[in-house]
Structure 1
Amino acid sequence: MAKQTKKQQIVAKLDAEKLYSVDEALATLREHKAKFDETVEVAMNLGVDPRHADQMVRGMVSLPSGTGKDVKVAVFAKGDNAEKALAAGADKVGAEDLMEDMQNGNLDYDRVIATPDMMGVVGRLGKVLGPKGLMPNPKLGTVTPNVEQAVKDAKGGQVEFRVEKQGIIHSGIGKLSFKDEDLKTNFKALTDAIVKAKPSGAKGKYVRKVTLTSSMGPGLKVDLEEIEGA
């Protein structure tokens, strides 16, 4: 018999059917923490089929306590907007030169932002940025004349959520080194935003299961009574 991993050993000792409060889940994850600062993640199983446009769930939410992650941001802008983006902390700012750089495979960014006048250039990167979920989108606030604020939001803890084919949203809400209150605040901000983003085509129960986990920890089912509007 193959030797179980540490994670498998932990899972084997837990009650798979138990519903945890957020406090209990965080305490359990801390009991089994690894030697590095793990990311705390939320998985929400939703009653939607994202193959249908009226059941797509996607949006942005600012996590009040930040993510604990250094977010790399690229901005397509010129002139004053380019200077504002750099001053706000953008990692890379450009126009045609940035497009060529990305076409050559330099895509080590977490967020790509563009001013509306640059979309003619950005549009040529659809096949490059699209599959990575990096294509600027006006509905998400990543196509905007206010690039300064967009960069600050991205650097300050704003995250994108998007439902996957299986009807699940995955998102990090911080690091295990965060205080419980900070993780709980971020958890509430994320789940509230996803509940608020319920699409018109969703039928039946919308939030079906919520799991809280860490990079190396077990997946713990959260009591849906902890989720407002679920």
Structure 2
Amino acid sequence: MSKKLTKNRKKILEKINNHKKYSLEEASILVKKISFVNFDASIDISVHLGIDTKLPNQMIRGFVKLPHGTGKNIRILALVPKDKELEVKEAGADYVGLGYIEKIKSGWTKNIDIIITIPSVMPQLGSLGKILGPRGLMPNPKLDTVTMNPGKSIKEIKSGKISFKADRYGIIHVSIGRVSFSHQYLFNNAKEFLNKIIRSKPSSCKKGSYIKSIYLSTTMSSSILVDSKSFIL
């Protein structure tokens, strides 16, 4: 096993020039070739932004609809009252009902990726902040996870809408597909995401480099540096 891993690492090193910035299209092709795991690995993009995360008006967060989705089955919990249950079930919610609030209080969160709710339910979730907050599961109007139209939000998420948020270092890290995707699908998804990030540039951001670096990678692979000038809005 160790010899095989060594050979794979050598192959990766041979394919990647660490001193080169690849075009987004080149990176979308190459990133598929450097995955050697025995499963359909996730392909991720990391963007380091030149923002001051200590300033509220420079915090970058939002959502974007990827043209080809992420290839992942997003498990959604809809915390809605009885009159909304049929709507969210038909939209594709995996777990439905306010009864899950008590389950969450008991520690149940491992089976969900996103929680959708409506404004009137939010006061009931205040006590769950310490549980949901650290896991990134707390519903937020800015991410369209607190909405008067939960069915619509669920359909959009199931069809490829993802949320993003810069961490304290100014880095945004999201999945844009799978190794099984065609390189054109990966390119389209990455381009749509990056264009959204550019459009989200705060007016208060200092002059200079807004996008410091962009990297594409797969699960357990090396990262590929992308030339930020290689795609057009």
Q: TM-score, structure 1 length as denominator?
A: 0.91
- Which deviates more from structure 2 when the two are superposed, residues 24-33 or residues 65-74? 24-33
Residue-by-residue CA offset, 1:163-222 (whole Å, 9 max, x unaligned)? 111111111100111112211111111111111111233213211111111113221111
Residue-by-residue CA offset, 1:26-53 (whole Å, 9 max, x unaligned)? 3322332223211111110100121221
Distance in 1 between residues matched to 2:7 and 2:189, nearest whole Å: 28
**Closer, same or farther in 2 for the Cα pair 1:55/1:10, shift >3 Å?**
farther
Taking only aligned residues, the RMSD between alpha carbons, in angstroms, comes to 1.9
- Asked whether the 8 Å contact 2:141–2:147 carries over to 1, the reply is yes
**In the alignment, is residue 201 of structure 1 matched against residue 198 of structure 2?**
no
**Closer, same or farther in 2 for the Cα pair 1:121/1:5, shift >3 Å?**
farther
Match of 2:90 in 1: 87
Opposite residue 218 of structure 2, the aligned amino acid is: S
2:109 is aligned, of 93, 107, 129, to 107
Q: Once the 2 structures are TM-superposed, how far is the Cα of residue 66 of structure 1 from its aligned partner? A: 0.8
2:125 is aligned, of 122, 126, 148, to 122
**Closer, same or farther in 2 for the Cα pair 1:5/1:160, shift >3 Å?**
farther
Residue-by-residue CA offset, 1:121-149 (whole Å, 9 max, x unaligned)? 12221111111111111111111110101
Q: Once the 2 structures are TM-superposed, how far is the Cα of residue 227 of structure 1 from its aligned partner? A: 3.8
2:229 is aligned, of 212, 216, 225, to 225
1:162 is aligned, of 159, 162, 165, to 165
- Which deviates more from structure 2 when the two are superposed, residues 26-35 or residues 42-51? 26-35
Match of 2:78 in 1: 75
2:18 is aligned, of 16, 19, 41, to 16
Gaps of 5+ in 2: none
Opposite residue 221 of structure 1, the aligned amino acid is: L
Distance in 1 between residues matched to 2:13 and 2:160, nearest whole Å: 34
Report how many aligned residue pairs link the two structures.
Answer: 227
Opposite residue 65 of structure 1, the aligned amino acid is: H
2:133 is paired with a residue of what secondary structure? helix
1:139 is paired with a residue of what secondary structure? helix
Opposite residue 26 of structure 1, the aligned amino acid is: S
Q: Once the 2 structures are TM-superposed, how far is the Cα of residue 226 of structure 1 from its aligned partner? A: 2.1
- Asked whether the 8 Å contact 2:48–2:170 carries over to 1, the reply is yes
**Closer, same or farther in 2 for the Cα pair 1:187/1:52, shift >3 Å?**
same
Opposite residue 212 of structure 2, the aligned amino acid is: R
1:200 is paired with a residue of what secondary structure? coil
Q: Once the 2 structures are TM-superposed, how far is the Cα of residue 5 of structure 1 from its aligned partner? A: 5.3
Gaps of 5+ in 1: none
Residue-by-residue CA offset, 1:84-141 (whole Å, 9 max, x unaligned)? 111111111112x211111111112111111111011122211111111111111111
- Asked whether the 8 Å contact 1:7–1:218 carries over to 2, the reply is no
Match of 2:192 in 1: 189
Match of 1:62 in 2: 65
1:140-151 matched pairs, under 5 angstroms: 140-151=143-154
Q: TM-score, structure 2 length as denominator?
A: 0.90
2:156 is aligned, of 153, 156, 159, to 153
